[in-house]
Amino acid sequence: MNNSLHEECGVFGIYTKNASLDAARSCFFALYSLQHRGQESCGIAVNSAGIIKQHKGIGLVCDVFNNENIESLGVGNMAIGHVRYSTTGNSSIENAQPLLIKHIKGPLAIVHNGNITNALELREKFESLGAIFHSSSDTEIIAYAITQNRLKTNSIEQAVKKTVKLLKGSFSLIVMSAQKLIALRDPIGFRPLCMGVTKDGSFMFASESCAFPTVGGKFLRDVKPGEIITVKGSTVKYDETFCKSKGNICIFEYVYFARPDSIIENTSVYKARLEAGKYLAKEHKALTADVVVGVPDSGLIAAKGFAKQSGLPYCDGFVKNKYIGRSFIEPTQNMRENVVKIKLNAIEQNVSGKRVVMVDDSIVRGTTCKRIVKILKNANAKEVHVRVACPCFKHPCYFGTDIDSTENLIACKMNIEQITKYIGADSLGFLSLEGLKEAIGIDNTNFCVGCFNGIYPQKPPSYSNKNKFDEKIEG
């Protein structure tokens, strides 16, 4: 079992001024920047004068794409791309995106980041009316609803609008029709989506702003929760019918999911992590130690913030091996401990004989933290004090991450004292929810914090959607 939390997906779309091979290439480079949002599969679809071609596969962007298959996508003026980590639907090729539909009203390709919490109900309803689905992905249900609504409306935008009314849960979507590129976010705005522009004025959309500089573009603004933006040629239309006065972005985007160079809701993810580390130090002032280290990668920035605020020296505690691929051979049980050191090893000179504050971004199942504490102790750290830059994860997430059951959450089974003992630390402390909200700094009512306090901005489904959905679809 992989012990980290996973984001569901990353999406990208571009409408270029002139048709060229660059539409596919831009998508390719942008997906590289979004790779952290999903490593199971990826794909690109290109629109050449109304004809959409696509290529997708299982694996990383660098495994799936090469010069030949990028060029085979052809000259186009629109392209969309996707990196996937599944939360609804398994990780088979049928569930890889973009999802391409050939329909009486023209072709349609769609990419989705999120999780439709009423997917099962919608699927059953559509199937009872004769629909046949080819995958177990909730995205196919969205695509089906759009094509059905397209038959009753005059434009793809209207069909998309009608579909939004049917959907519950989280969805940041990019839809590419024969002539238009449409980007939209669910009215809560659980998952991020932003808009950028290239030097020559081509419009782009991406899950995170870190994708724009890789294609020579810059961040313009976030797509508002509930907003639908349609690009056709040089015309851009903004529809705010579903926008509310505020949204509730997933707070975990700042803690862990997003890349630190991204800007989400006008707030730097890097700055949010640095501030979270400072608040963590403020809340744990009494701690006496010699050095502060961060757990690579997402704990490093908070560790720097902690050190700055506490006045303790920051040092590199670990080296992370960047060359472990997906085909990593799993060890036998008695090799397991050494293999952890292949992935992450302590820098003994920096921690030996010292009282170490080890800052991590979060603790989900506790098993990874336990191993890392052991690595420090084996490197002769005198004491290891674990400080976590977010609160205890106590509730499932239904809105686009892979934590769908409290069974997997250590804080649901143990109190702080028990967790401290389990992970082998000398002490353990978490950042408070108020501290985290203040650290991020946007209006603190504008978050989803459901996994920390059980209060969700939208009523969660009464069952674990992923398990129920997979059970039904895959028998």
Q: How far apart are the first and last CA of the chain?
A: 22
Amino acid of residue 138: D
Find out whether 319 and 344 touch, Cβ atoms under 8 Å.
Answer: yes
Q: Which of 144, 139, 88, 92 is nearest to 461 (CA)?
A: 88
- In whole angstroms, the minimum distance from the beta carbon of 297 to ligand SF4 comes to 19
* 252 lines the binding site for ligand SF4 (CB under 6 A): yes
Which of 429, 408, 444 is closest to 1 using CA atoms? 408
**For ligand SF4, the closer CB: 229 or 449:** 449
Asked if 399 interacts with ligand SF4 (CB under 6 A), we say yes
d(CA 234, CA 113): 26
Catalytic residue (one of 9, 42, 210, 392):
9
Report strand pairing: 194-198 vs 263-264.
Answer: unpaired
Least distance from ligand SF4 to the Cβ atom of residue 250, Å: 3
Q: Is 254 in the site for ligand SF4 (CB under 6 A)?
A: no
Determine contact, residues 64/32, Cβ cutoff 8 Å.
no
| Sign, CA torsion 112/33/90/361 | negative
231 binds ligand SF4 (CB under 6 A): no
Q: By rule CB under 6 A, what count of residues binds ligand SF4?
A: 11
Give the x/- contact pattern for ligand SF4 in 440-459, rule: CB under 6 A. Answer: --------xxxx--------
Give, in degrees to the nearest 5, the angle at Cα 327 between 325 and 332. 110
Shorter beta-carbon distance to ligand SF4: residue 73 or 436: 436
CB of 161 to ligand SF4, least distance (A): 24
Among 96, 110, 176, 250, binds ligand SF4 (CB under 6 A): 250
Q: Would you say 76 or 457 has its CB closer to ligand SF4?
A: 457
Of 87 and 202, CB closest to ligand SF4: 87
Strand partners, 428: 386
Subset of residues 175 to 204 that bind ligand SF4, contact rule: CB under 6 A? 190
CB-wise, 80 or 451, nearer to ligand SF4? 451
* Minimal distance, residue 449 CB to ligand SF4, in Å: 5
Q: Give the residue, chosen from 401, 408, 420, 464, that forms a contact with ligand SF4 under the rule CB under 6 A.
A: 401
Does the protein bind ligand SF4 through residue 390 (CB under 6 A)? no
Distance CA 440, CA 324 (A): 32
- Is 369 known to be catalytic? no
Residue closer to ligand SF4 by CB (options 294, 391) is 391
DSSP for 401-425? BS---GGG-GGGT--HHHHHHHHT-
Does 98 sit behind a cis peptide bond, omega within 30 degrees of 0 on the bond before it?
yes
Contact 257, 249 (CB under 8 A): no
Residues that bind ligand SF4 (CB under 6 A): 190, 250-252, 397, 399, 401, 448-451
Active-site amino acid positions: 9
